[in-house]
Amino acid sequence: KAAVEAAIARAKVRKQEQQAGSEPAEPVDPRKAAVEAAIARAKARKHEQQAGSEPAEPADPRKAAVEAAIARAKARKQEQQAGSEPAEPVDPRKAAVEAAIARAKARKQEQQAGSEPAEPADPRKAAVAAAIARVQAKKAAQQQVVNED
């Protein structure tokens, strides 16, 4: 999206340069033309940088997928560590189902959070928020297990 906007901005600058070049009513100083072209390029670069800084999510979908996979792996590791702490006997199938439900809820919350980027967030903050959401989902699942017993 940002790359498209930058390309459009560059095309507009080129078009303006061409129009300015096709309408020389007075003799044009080459130094002045070079300065104007440099200014136009600087404006295009500035616009490109501003457009590049706006997206809240990483522009590369592969990077986003890798970050999500890492976050899920960390959540699973935390679940395993937390799962080894309780002393009460738990049905392994039931625990596996609850863990799967918690992971599914966490992924769903990640997707919902990703589909509504209201504020520009840095990837670390997004990863922390996703981890918090997963922990909350896990706690809710554990509460359900306790309430059912």
| pLDDT of amino acid 28 | 59
Task: Look at residue 58 and tell me whether its pLDDT is greater than 50.
Answer: no
Average pLDDT over residues 127-134: 87
In terms of residues, how long is the chain?
A: 149
Between the CA of residue 71 and those of 96, 107, 123, 126, 131, what are the distances in Å? 19, 10, 11, 10, 7
Asked if residue 126 lies in contact with residue 56, where contact means CB atoms within 8 angstroms, the answer is: yes
- Indicate the DSSP class of residue 56: S
As a whole number, the mean pLDDT across the chain is 73
Please report which confidence band the pLDDT of residue 55 belongs to, taking 50, 70 and 90 as the band edges.
very low
Of 75, 65, 8, 9, residue with least CA distance to 40: 9
Is the pTM of the predicted complex or chain greater than 0.85? no
Grouping H, G, I as helix, E, B as strand and the rest as coil, residue 26 is: coil
Kindly list the domain boundaries of the chain, sorted by start residue.
2-53, 61-148
* Cα-based distances in Å from 8 to 12, 21, 34, 43, 103: 6, 20, 22, 13, 41
